[in-house]
Chain A
Amino acid sequence: MDFVTRGFEGRRRGSDDRLPPGQYLTGDFPVLSAGPTPPVDHDEWELWVATEDGTRHTWSWDELMALPAESVTVDIHCVTSWSKLDTEWRGVSLDTLLEDVETAADFVMVHSYGGYTTNLPLEDILDGKAWVAFGYDGDDLTPEHGGPARLLVPHLYFWKSAKWVRGIELMPDDSPGFWEQLGYHDYGDPWREQRYQGD
């Protein structure tokens, strides 16, 4: 635990409901997609991080597996209104992947096999807020749910958790990804119901 700030008491919030506004609980795990499940072998799989000056960091599947991984239990919220609580994942934290990356960028564009993209502030994939996840519910992540690996960013609507993650592009300025170009919100906070542009 962090050290205590002498004299600070703070103001507490009431215990929060775990469902953001407009969401309902689902027992299953719906699959939504913008395209066919891309077939990706572990042998061909590569994850890249590209900084704004062109520097590239890459990891093969074996290199990803050699990094320290975490098991996390998180709630996930889809913009189509279903939420799933206490989902269990295993993955490598983005803090680990980006540890040695030098950048002045404030935003990222996440790229997936198959061409999907989504944009986020860099701040929102750091500090224990995001993982490259390769395990779900105790098993390997299945292709229909984004396997071999997907981005997991549970504090935002789940369209930001790009399936079949392939690369992270650091951008100085924000730029809309696949759904953001077509009316979905650039940020996507479920607690402020930021589903669509202008919300």
Chain B
Amino acid sequence: MSHPQQHPHRPGPPADWDGNLMAGPLSELFALDVTTAVVRCRGCGAANEVARLRVYGPEPGLVGRCPGCDDVLLRVVRTPDAIWLDLGGAASLRWPAESAGSEAQA
């Protein structure tokens, strides 16, 4: 994985997309709006709303990278008969309690 420490004076260019692009594909998998979840990067420890991730894709898949260190946090691929999700780069995902409660009461 790339690390900014190798190129401290040359941060990568912004991606074409942000985490809002992930909302649609991930809405099939998560009951809650994933873009409001806070994801913690396993690499650098930074916590960001999914909406702020640097997202590449949507082809051949969606790749959400940490805005701090560019490590891959989330990946999603749709094939004709499956949805593949990789959350390995995310140490955790956290949704605010009231959004979980409001879904249950809806």
Contact = CB atoms under 8 A, between A and B. Distances in A.
A33 B56 contact: yes
B72 A80 contact: no
Interface in A101-116: 113-115
Interface residues on A, range: 20 to 34
Nearest to B7: A39
B70 A79 contact: no
Contacts of B13: 36-37
A87 interface: no
A32 interface: yes
Interface string B1-41: 11000010010110100000000000000000000000000
A179 B2 contact: no
A183 B82 contact: yes
A172 B91 CA distance: 31
On chain B, which size bracket covers the interface? 20 to 34
Given A115-B1, A115-B2, A183-B77, A34 B56 contact: yes
Interface string A70-88: 0000000001100000000
Contacts of A35: 2, 12, 56, 63, 65, 70, 72
Contacts of B82: 183, 196
A181 interface: yes
Interface string B36-55: 00000000000000000010
Contacts of B80: 196
A37 B57 CA distance: 14
A131 interface: no
Contacts of B10: 39
Interface in A37-80: 37-39, 79-80
A38 B79 contact: no
Nearest to B15: A36
A79 B84 CA distance: 17
Contact of B84 (A80, A113, A115, A182): A182
A181 B60 CA distance: 13
A134 interface: no
Contacts of B70: 35-36
B57 to A, nearest CB: 8
Interface string A138-164: 000000000000000000000100000
Nearest to A39: B10
Contacts of A184: 60, 77
Interface of A: 32-39, 79-80, 113-115, 159, 179, 181-184, 195-198
17 contacts: A32-B59, A32-B60, A34-B57, A34-B63, A35-B2, A35-B72, A36-B56, A37-B12, A79-B60, A80-B59, A115-B1, A179-B61, A182-B86, A183-B77, A184-B60, A184-B77, A196-B80
